[in-house]
Amino acid sequence: MPVHRLNHAVLYVRDVERSVAFYREALGFRQVMGFPGAAFLQAPGSKNDHDLGLFEIGAQAGPSQAGRATVGLYHLAWEVETLDDLDEIAKKLGEIGSLVGASDHSTTKALYAKDPDGIEFEVSWLVPADLLTEETLAGRSSIKPLDIAREKQRYGARTRGGVGVSVAV
């Protein structure tokens, strides 16, 4: 039986309350459950029990070396419905000093940011399958700087994204 999608992610963090506050402010997550040293967050509009689990391991924990000195997770990626949503999140992440990059992957438009523990995450909008062209599909092997204003003109600011679909079906 094939896997259909990622249900949730769990992160080890230094300070769970700091991380809850960050994900609330940056992405609008809300805490749905918790106990001392742990919190479970749900993304706006999600029907999951929770989308993100956070477990506190304390201030003495060193930063992740994944990708630099050890194997490990590179980043998590969340989808947004519209380019207006992506633009709003880009502004918020910029305001709080968390945004570290923005890329146009042709079929996806992506923001990259880091949380207070330096854990990287992505927020992306996927081009809907019915708007994919041969040129768009061919461009997947290159990465360009993201110009959200240009993409809003091209696809529409309120066009619903592909929701997990980045190739023509």
> Do 157 and 90 lie in a common domain?
yes
Q: Is residue 21 part of a domain?
A: yes
DSSP conformation class of 19: H
CA distance 101 to 53: 24
- Each residue's pLDDT tens digit, 82-107: 999 999 999 999 999 999 999 999 99
> Do 151 and 122 lie in a common domain?
yes
Residue 22 exposed, middle or buried by CB count within 10 Å (0-12, 13-18, 19+): buried
Q: Is residue 67 part of a domain?
A: no
Strand order in the sheet with 144-145: 76-79, 120-126, 108-114, 99-104, 144-145
CATH of the domain at 42: 3.10.180.10
> Do 37 and 109 lie in a common domain?
no
pTM above 0.95, yes or no: no
- Each residue's pLDDT tens digit, 3-41: 767 789 999 999 999 999 999 999 999 999 999 999 999
Domain containing residue 127: 74-169
- Each residue's pLDDT tens digit, 118-128: 999 999 999 99
> Do 84 and 48 lie in a common domain?
no
Q: Is residue 68 part of a domain?
A: no
Tell me the three state secondary structure of residue 52: strand
Query: Domains in the chain: how many in total?
Result: 2
In angstroms, the first-to-last Cα distance of the chain is 20
- Of 168, 136, 164, give the one whose Cα is nearest residue 78: 164
